[in-house]
Structure 1
Amino acid sequence: MFSVNHQKFMEMDELSRQKTPYFFIIDFLSENVEIYLEHEIEKSGLLVDFQSFSTPKQTKELHKKIEWRSYPETLEDFKTGFDQVQKNIRLGNSYLVNYTRKTRIETNLSLEEIFLHSDAKYKVFYKDFFVFFSPETFVKIIDDKIFTYPMKGTIDASIENAKEILKNDKKEKAEHYTVVDLLRNDLSMVSDEVTVNHFQHIDLIKTQQKNLYAMSSEIAGNIKPEFVGKIGSIMKKLLPAGSILGAPKPKTLEIIQQAEGYERGYYTGVCGWFDGKNVDSCVMIRFIEKENDTLYFKSGGGITHMSKLEDEYQEMKNKIYVPIY
């Protein structure tokens, strides 16, 4: 179904079988799978800051006023792909599509400065090519149990009763239920006794522009015996991540590629740290990429049959921010 770098996934399995710590990066379509042993990470020009693992880096204070401008496409341009997505949903080809766009930005911050000064659960600076500051865990593996935390639904936190509005919004709820169901099914491929433990948990995400609330849930299972210790095989089975693709996966991927009209590349791929026993990984969202000398911010959201064009356009723009404040 998806183009896969088989050998690299097997290498991940072998390293995890040997209990050798490593960091991995997998792009959206699993065409590029990169593995870095602990001593190779910094030499390779990578900077990593996870809750569970961090490359040492001296952070200097930021002595400048941040300049930040974004140039989103027009509502009409956004509508072209949005209409294609909605048409496919009406035809029954998909019931949730994660539709993303690429927005030119200008800032006086370097990608490395964005990495060093952003506040986020997961941050990676990749060789002056991209940086991301992701709030979204993909999977955690702890003592042969696997956990995933799909994040779907955001709202401007300054709105009165924002948390309640988000939790009770029909469209956001439908989107969240769908992605929880999808991820529960995905985890069932590699684990048994899958349960939803925390449902519709609300997180505050601080940004320089505005604060957002985001909705997530926790799903957990016991890894099947044939997948125990095989991190590569687990990732290969679960990717692309359901929360940034949609459902059903194969047809939704086709719809995305037609509607978006650009290559996601590493954006919405996953990366993670295996410490010799357990794994912490994230979805590469809140993502800035350098193309020649121009910076682009990639962002989007889930589309269902209840989605309204103006709301989705606004959500795509809301997510263009740096969490420096």
Structure 2
Amino acid sequence: MIYSRFKWNENSFLELSRPKSAFIYFRTTRLNLITGFPETYRLELFLKRLEGIELQGKMKTPTVFHFYYDLGLILMGLGHTVDENTPLAIEIEYEDKKFKKSPKSRLKSIPLKSLERPSWSEYKSAFNHIQEHLLNGNCYQVNLTYPYDFETEEVIDPRDIADFFFAQKGLGAYAHLTFLGDEMILSNSPECLFQYQNNKMYTMPIKGTMKRGKDWKKDWEKMKADVKEEGELNMITDLLRNDLNRLDKPEARVIKKRSPLLVPNLLHQHSVLSVELTQKISLLKTLESLFPGGSVTGAPKKRVMEIIQEVERYSRGIYCGSTLLCLNDKKIASINIRTAQLSIMDRLWRYGAGGGVTLLSRAPAEYQEMEEKVASFLTLLAAPGYKA
């Protein structure tokens, strides 16, 4: 069984089912997820398909793309760091679409038990390595992330997980999941990589996090006074302005420079940018310009992606990648933060978390912020010890 769900509004979600085709792409092969058979298929053919999809065009069938962070390494000219067995993208064309009301859940919580998380010494070592790059002028900001592994005591029915997730209040604007027969991608993303509408392209980078108290407005005043938080967002907003300008000649505009964003237990700050398109733009060009999102890499993008490869000794995978929903003339792509990858039968969950490191950063505070982002996700799942 293969299906996808996307948050539509506060009271409903979109469910896509009955896949017409479903593939996971690697560098020289693709796996047919419906038949289970691998096929010889060069990545260049998949990229050519993306080049043939126009942002301004309509998709004949509802289509979901999951772009792994590792595809971004290839698009940025760092393909030598990606091996043949690394998944790069998933493409699913669906026959059926239904809008459904928020479901009732049989579960009251997801009983996750922690298996492995980054140690303080491990984090501090990577943090110090990044500080050396910052001091040497190699970069301005680096997004440092780590995986957190969990397990459940029993196998949980994926439908129960899906119903529980979409029954929660306050899901991120780009919350979604895809079930692939045993693996599940589960994302509570609040962040937009791009959204195309009426010849305009929008993007919404998030940078800056603090734990939210009872009065978020007071917290916001405190965040606005924080020079480090302001600097982080300004750097990435400038990077995104340049990324958008690679799409078309007119200059990208900053619609919102610094605004609050509330998620479970956390307060973020974000900006909103747009550019008006005067010519037809392909999906491939869009990815080459914007992917991976600057908020999950840093600045300058290619150099920090090289540094990330030095300090992060694991593949980010779907975390920090992007999920794109193509529905009629709508094309909406998230950045996969607050995202977990599940192996249902193995009872394993892997969740990624991290944050931007600048010269003004302090290791204990950054480590604590990363832990708070994990706690936010666990609170949403009502895991043992975490309550809203």
TM-score normalised by the shorter chain: which range applies? 0.7 to 0.9
Match of 2:266 in 1: 212
Q: What do the CA deviations read for 1:254-298 (whole angstroms, capped 9, x no partner)?
A: 110111111111111111112232311100111222465432211
Q: What do the CA deviations read for 1:202-229 (whole angstroms, capped 9, x no partner)?
A: 11112xxxx111111100001252xx24
Give the aligned residue type for 1:27: Y
Instruction: Evaluate the alpha carbon distance shift between residue 86 and residue 5 of structure 1 in structure 2; reply closer, same or farther with a 3 A threshold.
Output: farther
Instruction: Evaluate the alpha carbon distance shift between residue 58 and residue 77 of structure 1 in structure 2; reply closer, same or farther with a 3 A threshold.
Output: same
Contact 2:107 2:164 in 1 (8 A): no
1:114 is displaced (CA, Å) by: 4.4
Instruction: Evaluate the alpha carbon distance shift between residue 6 and residue 143 of structure 1 in structure 2; reply closer, same or farther with a 3 A threshold.
Output: farther
Match of 2:199 in 1: 144
1:223 to 257, 266, 277: 277
1:89 aligns with 2:141: no
Superposed CA RMSD in Å reads 2.6
Contact 2:338 2:351 in 1 (8 A): yes
Give the aligned residue type for 1:148: T
Tell me, in whole angstroms, the C-alpha distance in 2 between the residues paired with 1:293 and 1:106: 5
Match of 2:338 in 1: 286
Tell me, in whole angstroms, the C-alpha distance in 2 between the residues paired with 1:61 and 1:117: 5
1:125 aligns with 2:169: no
Contact 1:115 1:133 in 2 (8 A): no
Unaligned runs of 5+ in 2: 1-26, 28-41, 75-87, 166-170, 382-387
The 5 A counterparts of 1:170-249 are 170-191=227-248, 192-206=250-264, 211-225=265-279, 228-249=280-301
1:102 is displaced (CA, Å) by: 0.9
The 5 A counterparts of 1:1-325 are 5-16=43-54, 19-20=58-59, 21=61, 22-30=63-71, 32-39=88-95, 59-70=103-114, 71-107=116-152, 110=156, 113-118=160-165, 119-121=171-173, 122-127=175-180, 128-129=182-183, 130-158=185-213, 161-191=218-248, 192-206=250-264, 211-225=265-279, 228-290=280-342, 293-320=347-374, 321-322=377-378, 323-324=380-381
Instruction: Evaluate the alpha carbon distance shift between residue 169 and residue 58 of structure 1 in structure 2; reply closer, same or farther with a 3 A threshold.
Output: closer
Q: What do the CA deviations read for 1:168-205 (whole angstroms, capped 9, x no partner)?
A: 21111111000000001000000323100112111111
Tell me, in whole angstroms, the C-alpha distance in 1 between the residues paired with 2:255 and 2:57: 32
Q: Say how many residue pairs are matched.
A: 305
User: Which stretch shifts more, 267-276 or 67-76?
Assistant: 67-76
Contact 1:269 1:283 in 2 (8 A): yes
Larger radius of gyration: 2
User: Which stretch shifts more, 3-12 or 284-293?
Assistant: 3-12
- Structure scoring higher RCO (CA < 8 A, sep ≥ 6) equals 1
Tell me, in whole angstroms, the C-alpha distance in 2 between the residues paired with 1:99 and 1:112: 33
- TM-score (norm: length of structure 2): 0.72
Instruction: Evaluate the alpha carbon distance shift between residue 12 and residue 95 of structure 1 in structure 2; reply closer, same or farther with a 3 A threshold.
Output: same
Give the aligned residue type for 2:235: T
Contact 2:152 2:347 in 1 (8 A): no
Give % identity. Answer: 26
Tell me, in whole angstroms, the C-alpha distance in 1 between the residues paired with 2:160 and 2:223: 32
User: Which stretch shifts more, 141-150 or 238-247?
Assistant: 238-247
Contact 2:143 2:354 in 1 (8 A): yes
SS at match of 2:352: strand
Instruction: Evaluate the alpha carbon distance shift between residue 100 and residue 278 of structure 1 in structure 2; reply closer, same or farther with a 3 A threshold.
Output: same
Tell me, in whole angstroms, the C-alpha distance in 2 between the residues paired with 1:220 and 1:61: 38
Contact 1:201 1:215 in 2 (8 A): yes
Unaligned runs of 5+ in 1: 43-52
1:80 is displaced (CA, Å) by: 1.4
Instruction: Evaluate the alpha carbon distance shift between residue 67 and residue 95 of structure 1 in structure 2; reply closer, same or farther with a 3 A threshold.
Output: same
Instruction: Evaluate the alpha carbon distance shift between residue 125 and residue 34 of structure 1 in structure 2; reply closer, same or farther with a 3 A threshold.
Output: closer
